[in-house]
Chain A
Amino acid sequence: KNQVEQSPQSLIILEGKNCTLQCNYTVSPFSNLRWYKQDTGRGPVSLTIMTFSENTKSNGRYTATLDADTKQSSLHITASQLSDSASYICVVSAPGAGSYQLTFGKGTKLSVIP
C-alpha cells in the first residue's frame, strides 16, 4: 500500500531559526513529490515539485531535497519568520492507468514564535 509518513507531527521553533521537516514514502513507481504550505483555514500553496531526477529544489527560504533511492525527502526552512507558521504537506504522485495516484502525508504543523 502506498504511504507517505511525515515527521515530526508538530514543531515549535524560535523566529530566525532554521528547521527541517521529513517525508518518507513507500510509493512506487514514482512520478513526482510535492511540498505544500497550508495556512489555517486556507487552501494549500505549492512550494516545490520534484521529479525522480531532481535532488534539490529551492523556493526562496524553502529548500526541498529528494533521495529517490531511500525514498526520503526533506524540506528545510531557513531563517524562519512568523508567517512560516502553517502546516506543511508532502504529496507523492505515482503513475497509473491513464492517470496518477496522489498519496498525501498528514502534514507537519509548524509554529514559529517570537
Chain B
Amino acid sequence: KAGVTQTPRYLIKTRGQQVTLSCSPISGHRSVSWYQQTPGQGLQFLFEYFSETQRNKGNFPGRFSGRQFSNSRSEMNVSTLELGDSALYLCASGPGLAGEREQFFGPGTRLTVL
C-alpha cells in the first residue's frame, strides 16, 4: 500500500497570507489527524477527522481549520499567517481514532512564513 502523502512538501509564504495543505491517507484509513512540529514546542496536536467529522481539536486559534472529504483526503487551512506559524506540519492516518489505534505519518509539509 502507498503511504501517507502530503502536498506540497515545502511552502514559503508571507505574513497575512493564507495557506492550504493537503493530506492523502493510506487507502482504507478513515482517520486523519494533523500536527504542528517546531523545535521549541515539539509535536502538538491540531485536530482529527474521522469519516468527515471533526472528532478532536487541539489548543490552536481559529485561524487553523481543516476538513475531510468523503474519500478520506484531508486539508488544513491557516489564515492570516504569522511568523510563529513556521513549522513542519504532519498528518497521520489510521484505521481507527488516533488515540486508539496505530497512526502512520506522512513526510510533512515544511511551511516558512516570512
Residues of A within 8 A of B (CB): 31-32, 34, 36, 41-46, 49, 89, 91, 93-96, 98-102, 104-107
Give me the 7 closest cross-chain CB pairs, A-B, nearest first.
Answer: A100-B99, A43-B105, A93-B99, A106-B42, A99-B56, A104-B43, A99-B55
> Known contacts being A89-B43, A101-B99, is A44 close to B56, with CB within 8 Å?
no
B106/A99 in contact, CB under 8 A: no
Choice from A32, A43, A99, A100 contacting B4 with Cβ under 8 Å: A43
Nearest B residue (CB) for A104: B43
**Which residues of A lie under 8 Å from residue B4 when comparing CB positions?**
43
Residue B27, interface by CB 8 Å: no
**Which residues of B lie under 8 Å from residue A32 when comparing CB positions?**
99-100
A contact patch SS: strand
**Which residues of A lie under 8 Å from residue B103 when comparing CB positions?**
46
B45/A102 in contact, CB under 8 A: yes
**Which residues of B lie under 8 Å from residue A44 when comparing CB positions?**
43, 90, 105
List 28 A-B pairs, Cβ < 8 Å: A31-B99, A36-B105, A41-B108, A42-B107, A43-B90, A43-B105, A44-B90, A45-B105, A46-B102, A46-B103, A46-B104, A49-B102, A89-B42, A89-B43, A91-B43, A93-B99, A93-B100, A94-B99, A96-B56, A96-B99, A99-B48, A100-B99, A100-B100, A101-B99, A102-B99, A104-B42, A104-B44, A106-B42
Nearest B residue (CB) for A45: B105
How close is B57's CB to chain A, nearest CB, in angstroms? 9
How close is B38's CB to chain A, nearest CB, in angstroms? 11
**Which residues of B lie under 8 Å from residue A49 when comparing CB positions?**
102
Choice from A41, A46, A89, A99 contacting B97 with Cβ under 8 Å: A99
A100/B98 in contact, CB under 8 A: yes
A31/B107 in contact, CB under 8 A: no
Nearest B residue (CB) for A100: B99
CA distance A36 to B103 in the complex (A): 10
